[in-house]
């Protein structure tokens, strides 16, 4: 198969383009002919080795965490799918590799592609849609009428989380650059704070929950915005011991995670809030349960740009510069 992969951790220069053997198919696996894959911050964090303690990958490692495509083979014990099905997926964290012409995934991570969406549109969604859904309904466990501050509202996760939050009946405040304020309001945000012209922690108070995808400084300031008993969730900086435990990290490394999560946990304690670091899980049935919202247009895929497969490096660079509205997608085949 043709793929973009790394043989060592590092910057953009370590990404190689070539042919690798196709992965073996297990009895509960499906083989997907990839039509499109999206770029996520997780991709360059993995490339740089930022997550090697959490996710000890072997080389060569094909990058890419979600995709849309067509099933071309199913394992003997697969019951939900058959060859020819159109699917999309956020593959398992320890079996990534969607920046390729084929990928193998456990059937439990795969969902049927919504008929109303193209492969490019569908590929833009699995990781960010599951992240948003799990944040709102599990990590923060929000109920209709409550409030949420979603940082980086024009970004990949933020743009989907705002739409889903409004559908769930929440009051939404978001942050964005001045050029994206109108765009973010159009997604449904009730209030948008200009992140450069205003200090959001001076403008926003008594929120039930906060989602931070920006980084430690932004995360720590966010505790000034949440009410006592509220929840601040990070999907960027601040992994903690609870995450290490959930991912079965060697106990000898737990002190490292305690140190990384110490500052946000201390900030939470000072205001009587809760802090959680959320590493989303791949979940095909949950993803498929969200299809009706995509079919009806309640949640719209937001694609910033599409790059052909041979320009995967440029696609990653576009996403990594942090100026994309929504997702950057790599297209392997036409729909």
Q: Where are the domains of the chain?
A: 2-125+302-331, 127-277
pLDDT tens per residue, range 19-38: 999 999 999 999 999 999 99
Q: Copy the structure tokens of residue 161.
A: 């989380």
pLDDT at 267: 98
pLDDT in tens, 134-185: 999 999 999 999 999 999 999 999 999 999 999 999 999 999 999 999 999 9
pLDDT number for residue 56: 87
CATH of the domain spanning 127-277, picked from 3.90.1150.10, 3.40.50.720, 3.40.1550.10, 3.40.220.10: 3.40.50.720
Please give the Cα distance from 16 to 12 (Å, whole number): 9
Tokens encoding 96: 């990534």
Other C-beta atoms closer than 10 Å to the C-beta of 322 total 11
**Same topology between domain 2-125+302-331 and domain 127-277:** no
Could you tell me if 63 and 40 are in contact, meaning their C-beta atoms sit under 8 angstroms apart?
A: no
Q: Is the previous residue joined to 60 through a cis bond, with omega within 30 degrees of 0?
A: yes
Q: Which residues contact 138 (CB under 8 A, 6 or more apart)?
A: none
CATH top-level class for 2-125+302-331?
alpha beta
Q: What was the pLDDT predicted at 334? A: 86
**pLDDT value of position 265:** 98
pLDDT of 132 above 90: yes
Per-residue DSSP letter, 276: E
Q: What is the pTM of this model?
A: 0.96
Q: Are 77 and 27 in contact (CB under 8 A)?
A: yes
Task: Say how far apart CA 110 and CA 89 lie, in whole Å.
Answer: 5
Task: State the pLDDT at residue 235.
Answer: 96
Instruction: Report the alpha-carbon distance of residue 204 to residue 190 in Å, rounded.
Output: 12
pLDDT higher at 334 or 161: 161
Neighbours of 185 (CB within 10 A): 16
The length of the chain, given as a count of residues: 335
The two beta strands, 207-212 and 226-234, are parallel
- 334 class by beta-carbon count within 10 Å (0-12 exposed, 13-18 middle, 19+ buried): exposed
Which pLDDT value is given to residue 164? 97
Residue ranges with strand state E in 168-257: 171-176, 191-194, 207-212, 226-234
Q: Average per-residue pLDDT in the chain? A: 96
Q: pLDDT, tens digit, for every residue of 211-236?
A: 999 999 999 999 999 999 999 999 99
CA 320 – CA 108 distance, rounded (Å): 30
Predicted confidence at residue 53, as pLDDT, reads: 86
pLDDT of residue 314: 98
**Cα gap 154→161, rounded to integer Å:** 10
Q: Which residue is it, tokens 């743009």? A: 159
Q: What pLDDT, in 10s, does the model give residues 264-303?
A: 999 999 999 999 999 999 999 999 999 999 999 999 999 9
By the 8 A CB rule, do 303 and 124 touch? Answer: yes
The per-residue DSSP string of 150-172 comes to ESSTTSHHHHHHHHHHHHTT-EE
41-48 and 312-320 are packed helices; what angle lies between their axes, rounded to 10 degrees? 100
pLDDT given for residue 208 in this prediction? 98
- Average pLDDT for 52-75: 95
pLDDT bin (cut points 50, 70, 90) of residue 15 is: very high
Q: 79-118, pLDDT tens digit by residue?
A: 999 999 999 999 999 999 999 999 999 999 999 999 999 9
């Amino acid at each position: 198969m043709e793929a973009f992969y790394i043989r060592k951790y590092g910057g953009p220069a370590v990404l190689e383009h070539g042919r690798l053997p196709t992965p073996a198919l297990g009895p509960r696996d499906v083989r997907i002919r990839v039509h499109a894959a999206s770029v996520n911050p997780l991709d360059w964090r993995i490339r740089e080795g930022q997550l090697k303690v959490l996710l000890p990958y072997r080389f060569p490692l094909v990058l890419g965490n979600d995709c849309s495509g067509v099933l071309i083979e199913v394992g003997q014990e697969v019951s939900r799918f058959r060859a020819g099905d159109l699917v999309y997926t956020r593959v398992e964290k320890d079996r990534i590799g969607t920046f390729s012409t084929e990928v193998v995934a456990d059937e439990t991570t795969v969902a049927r592609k919504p008929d109303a969406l193209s492969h490019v549109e569908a590929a833009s969604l699995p990781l960010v849609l599951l992240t948003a859904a799990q944040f709102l309904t599990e990590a923060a466990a929000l109920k209709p009428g409550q409030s949420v501050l979603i940082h980086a509202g024009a970004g990949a996760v933020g743009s989907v989380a705002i739409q889903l939050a409004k559908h769930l009946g929440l009051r939404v405040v978001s942050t964005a650059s001045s050029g994206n304020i109108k765009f973010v309001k159009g997604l449904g945000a009730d209030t948008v704070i200009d992140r450069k012209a205003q200090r959001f922690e001076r403008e926003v108070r008594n929120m039930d929950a906060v989602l931070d995808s920006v980084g430690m400084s932004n995360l720590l300031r966010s505790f000034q915005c949440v009410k006592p008993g509220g929840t601040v969730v990070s999907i960027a900086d601040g992994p903690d011991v609870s995450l290490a435990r959930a991912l079965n990290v060697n106990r000898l490394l737990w002190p490292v995670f305690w140190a990384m999560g110490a500052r946000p946990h201390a900030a939470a304690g000072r205001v009587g809030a809760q802090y959680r670091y959320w590493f989303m899980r791949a979940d095909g049935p949950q993803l498929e349960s969200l299809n009706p919202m995509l079919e009806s247009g309640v949640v719209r895929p937001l694609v910033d740009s599409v790059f052909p497969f041979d320009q995967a490096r440029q696609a990653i660079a576009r996403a990594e510069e942090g100026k994309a509205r929504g997702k950057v997608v790599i297209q392997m085949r036409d729909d």
